[in-house]
Structure 1
Amino acid sequence: MHVQARCSARLALTVVVAAVLAACGSLDNASHRIASAASAVTPYKVEVVQGNFVSREQVEALAPGMSRQQVRDILGTPLLTSVFHADRWEYVFTLKRKDLEIQTRKLTVFFEGDRLVRHEGDEMPSEADFVATLGSKKAGGKVPVLEATPAQLARFPAPTGSPADTEVLAPTDAPKQYPPLEAPGR
């Protein structure tokens, strides 16, 4: 090989090595830019609501001496009943939301036989307070006023038929009583 060809090959090799080394630095910067762009994109997180929401108004409606059916009518079906603890019902409510702390509320209702004795648990929010916490950030968390003005009510005429015409009848095959949720006491 000629001397001139060797010099050209060395020069070309030097230029290629310099280009590769320069590319490493820009590749490093590019990887940092890609990583920062990827961190700006976050995955969607589903809101998870589990259990029974019990409001302050529902807890205030409880009174010692109520039957189990009356308590179920006010609070709904309990989340937990136990064969080993047939004298109590557990109402648990959990709400998981993106970028917010998990909300958990618990209420335990105690019975003697079929009668309510007492209840204990966390302090429950009122329905209006709870609805206000559910509002999106875009809506500002305002709860709409749910009252009609007299002008709005005047747009809808009063029913003219007899009360028997507007009464809704229950289906004849509906059960009169539902089976108990827990095993009978022994």
Structure 2
Amino acid sequence: MFEPSLRGSVTALALVACAALGACSSIDNSTRQFVGSLAPYKMEVVQGNFVSKEQVEALKPGMAREQVKDILGTSLLQDVFHADRWDYVFTMRRQGTEPQARKFTVFFKGDVMDRVEGDAMPSESEFVGLLAKSHPVKSVPLLEASEDRLKSFAVPAAPAATAAAAAAVPAAAYPPLETPSAP
């Protein structure tokens, strides 16, 4: 059978488990928010070839494959069965934002670009803004004080006798930092 001290430990552990389970039904919103903030870190994943609006505008039908490659870079997907098609795929998963996926396809006839299809691409500045958006920006307080507010911070003028007495006090003498060594 169990020893008395072990039996008491098991009973105490069972009571703690019952209390913890009973407390689960009484969790309020602030506790849920706190527990939700303890979520594990999720790595931000940016994959693929980002194609900007400016790059898409630089493409013109009749361009050679090398010219398209100079503008867009090497395509992420080159299908063996569709040699006249280059697919540029871009995905981004960031914590706190919806996952994004964009696809852009360039079609060729022979060695000449025929047409393009795909999602609306963001400009480079929009993309940088998207990357910089890691946390919601809180309102910035007004950092300008009115004349009335500045007057409330004014230092009262000291009486002339007190200022003269403070100037007459000699500076304190400080001991040397190191003790003189014996010769």
TM-score (norm 1): 0.57
Gaps of 5+ in 1: 1-15, 141-186
Listed one character per residue, the Cα deviations across residues 96-116 of structure 1 (whole Å, up to 9, x for unaligned) are 111221100000000001100
1:28 correspondence with 2:18: yes
Q: Percent identity?
A: 55
Is 1:86 paired with 2:79?
A: no
Displacement of 1:38 in angstroms is 5.9
What is the match of residue 55 of structure 1?
Answer: 52
Q: How does 1:1-186 map to 2 (within 5 A)?
A: 26-30=16-20, 32=23, 40-137=37-134, 140=137
Task: Check 1:44–1:117 CA distance in 2 against 1; reply closer, same or farther (3 A cut).
Answer: same
Amino acid at match of 1:72: K
Aligned-pair Cα RMSD in Å: 3.0
Mapped to 2, the partners of 1:56 and 1:126 lie a distance apart of: 5
1:132 is paired with a residue of what secondary structure? helix
Which whole-Å CA distance do the structure 2 matches of 1:50 and 1:23 have between them?
48
Q: Distance in 1 between matches of 2:13 and 2:111?
A: 80
Decide whether aligned partners of structure 1 residues 22 and 68 sit closer, same or farther in structure 2, where only a CA change above 3 A counts: closer
1:28 CA drift (Å): 2.7
Q: How far apart, CA to CA, are the structure 2 residues paired with 1:23 and 1:112?
A: 74
Secondary structure at 2:113 match in 1:
strand
Q: How far apart are the structure 2 equivalents of 1:46 and 1:95?
A: 11
Compute the TM-score of the two structures, normalised by the length of structure 2: 0.58
Q: Size of the alignment, in residue pairs?
A: 123
**1:152-179 residue CA offsets vs partner (Å, 9 max, x unmatched):** xxxxxxxxxxxxxxxxxxxxxxxxxxxx
- Describe the superposition over 1:8-40 as per-residue Cα deviations: whole angstroms up to 9, x where unpaired: xxxxxxxx99xx98985554334547x977654
Give runs of ≥4 in structure 1 deviating > 2 Å: 20-33, 35-40, 136-140
Structure 2 alignment gaps of length 5 or more? 1-6, 25-30, 138-183
- Secondary structure of the residue aligned to 2:55 is helix
Q: CA deviation at 1:82?
A: 1.3
Q: Against the structure 1 CA distance between its residues 102 and 24, is the aligned structure 2 distance closer, same or farther, given a 3 Å change threshold?
A: same
- Letter of the structure 2 residue corresponding to residue 28 of structure 1: C
